[in-house]
Amino acid sequence: MDTDAAPVSGTPQSSPSSPLALQLGFVLAAALWAFADTSSMSSFVSSTLTTLATLTAVALGSLYLFQDSLLYFPQVPDGAREQVMAPAALGMPGEDVVLPTPDGASLAAIFCPQADDAAAAAAHTILFFHGNAGNAGHRLPNAYHLHNLGFNVLLAEYRGYGRSTGRPSQAALEADAGLPLDWLLAQGHRIDTSRIIVFGRSLGGAVAIALAAQRQDDIAALVLENTFVSVVDMIDVVMPIFSPFKPLCSNPWRSADHMPSLTLPILFLSGLRDELVPADHMARLYDLAPLPARKRIVTFANGTHNETWLEPGYFDALAAFIRSDLPTIRAAMADSPEQSQ
């Protein structure tokens, strides 16, 4: 989509218990070992089965234990763990925000408020969850355009990415996602906390959906760009060789399961030439969002996975949703919740 820091003691991880499929795999390996040990087998067949059993056990165990390194790429490109661009490089106001986690890790976010205090207090604030690989600083050119539109921007960072400590996993990223939101909600003296927009691109879309499913009362709207139905579905697309082992996936990111519960306004931004996440994933997520009057989808015929935001009309569509559609939807929700569905 779109490994690194040492694990932190107490870091949220996937369940340590092996899934049923892994247990069955080892049962298969044990059966092969037992069968190979029967006295009636020739030494050649016995040796072959023993080798096959050993390779099966090693392969299944390795796939389960090291799958995080197949999914998360915080070390790409070179220097991504150490070199983080500062907003000043683009002439933007900005500040580093360090968010401690309950288990002792720290998340290094970047906040870019409007330079004028009054403008910052009146603006919408975009909580930005970026895609896989790189760090928050790599998304500052994107934040620059959002900032020029008059929005405050908080670029969230994942544990194990950029200057954040810890090790990434679905359990960890989901547990951490509320921390930048909590930080924004504590900035009521600087921003309008009723105007927080959560944005997620690719992997960040899965993080944003998971956060919205838990905290939609704290979020004015959700914006999703080129994200996926689930990582399990994506295995067939990007790593089909591992498709038989999908039951072993401990980072399934089943975004589709959350969509029917989301009743907040949602904008879907979909690049139809996405070469990584098939565009039909966005269409399926849009269909699963339950309230037609509260959702919008905008497609970009030439939009690719990482460059849809560079397409003509992209920022116009985003600004129109926030400045025009969102107030209308929110007013309808306040006046008549049933009719605004």
State how far the Cα of 257 lies from the Cα of 260, in Å rounded to an integer: 7
- DSSP per position, 243-270: GGGGGG-S----HHHHGGG--S-EEEEE
Q: Give tens-digit pLDDT for 228-244.
A: 999 999 999 988 888 88
The reported pLDDT for the residue numbered 203 is: 97
Catalytic option among 202, 230, 250, 255:
202
Q: Model-level pTM?
A: 0.83
Chain mean position to CA 34: 44
Q: Give tens-digit pLDDT for 163-217.
A: 999 999 999 999 999 999 999 999 999 999 999 999 999 999 999 999 999 999 9
Q: Please compute, for residue 9, the number of CA atoms within 13 A of its CA located in the half-sphere on the CB side.
A: 0
Catalytic option among 230, 274, 281, 340:
274
- Considering the domain architecture, whether residues 200 and 53 belong to the same structural domain is answered as no
Cα-Cα-Cα-Cα dihedral sign, residues 96, 97, 101, 107: negative
φ, ψ at 271 (rounded to 5°): -85, 120
How many other C-beta atoms are found inside a 10 Å radius of the C-beta of residue 245?
18
Given 34, 65, 96, the domain boundary residue is: 65
Catalytic option among 138, 250, 305, 340:
305
Q: Is residue 49 part of a domain?
A: yes
Among the listed residues 314, 240, 312, 306, the one whose alpha carbon sits nearest the alpha carbon of residue 273: 306
Mean pLDDT of 21-41: 48
Q: Give tens-digit pLDDT for 98-126.
A: 999 999 999 999 999 999 999 999 999 99
Greater confidence (65 vs 290) lies with: 290
Q: Is residue 341 part of a domain?
A: no
- Considering the domain architecture, whether residues 50 and 106 belong to the same structural domain is answered as no
Q: Give tens-digit pLDDT for 121-170.
A: 999 999 999 999 999 999 999 999 999 999 999 999 999 999 999 999 99
Assign residue 270 the CATH number of its domain. 3.40.50.1820
Among the listed residues 215, 218, 224, the one whose alpha carbon sits nearest the alpha carbon of residue 128: 224
- Considering the domain architecture, whether residues 59 and 153 belong to the same structural domain is answered as no
Q: To the nearest whole number, what is the mean pLDDT of the chain?
A: 86
- Considering the domain architecture, whether residues 57 and 165 belong to the same structural domain is answered as no
State how far the Cα of 199 lies from the Cα of 176, in Å rounded to an integer: 16
Q: Is residue 71 part of a domain?
A: no
State how far the Cα of 132 lies from the Cα of 213, in Å rounded to an integer: 21
Residue 61: both structure tokens together: 């165990």
Given 5, 32, 65, the domain boundary residue is: 65
Whether residue 38 is predicted with pLDDT greater than 90 in this model: the reply is: no
- Considering the domain architecture, whether residues 199 and 316 belong to the same structural domain is answered as yes
Cα-Cα-Cα-Cα dihedral sign, residues 273, 222, 284, 170: positive
Q: Is residue 70 part of a domain?
A: no
The reported pLDDT for the residue numbered 37 is: 53
Strand partners, 222: 198, 266
The reported pLDDT for the residue numbered 76 is: 94
- Considering the domain architecture, whether residues 254 and 116 belong to the same structural domain is answered as yes
Whether residue 246 is predicted with pLDDT greater than 60 in this model: the reply is: yes
- Considering the domain architecture, whether residues 285 and 176 belong to the same structural domain is answered as yes
Whether residue 56 is predicted with pLDDT greater than 60 in this model: the reply is: no
Q: Is residue 121 part of a domain?
A: yes
Residue 305 falls in the annotated catalytic set: yes
Greater confidence (24 vs 6) lies with: 24
What percentage of the chain exceeds 70 in pLDDT? 79
Whether residue 62 is predicted with pLDDT greater than 70 in this model: the reply is: no
Q: Is residue 4 part of a domain?
A: no
Q: Is residue 291 part of a domain?
A: yes
Q: Is residue 161 part of a domain?
A: yes
Domain count, the chain: 2
- Considering the domain architecture, whether residues 26 and 164 belong to the same structural domain is answered as no
The reported pLDDT for the residue numbered 161 is: 98
Confidence of residue 44 (pLDDT cuts 50, 70, 90): low
- Considering the domain architecture, whether residues 306 and 204 belong to the same structural domain is answered as yes
Span of 35-39, 261-265, 300-304, 306-310 with lowest mean pLDDT: 35-39
Residue 202 falls in the annotated catalytic set: yes
What percentage of the chain exceeds 90 in pLDDT? 73
- Considering the domain architecture, whether residues 137 and 31 belong to the same structural domain is answered as no
- Considering the domain architecture, whether residues 151 and 222 belong to the same structural domain is answered as yes
Domain that holds residue 190: 87-335
- Considering the domain architecture, whether residues 61 and 123 belong to the same structural domain is answered as no
The reported pLDDT for the residue numbered 291 is: 96
Q: Exposed, middle or buried, 264 (CB in 10 Å: 0-12/13-18/19+)?
A: buried
Output the 3-class SS for 148-161: HCCCEEEECCCCCC
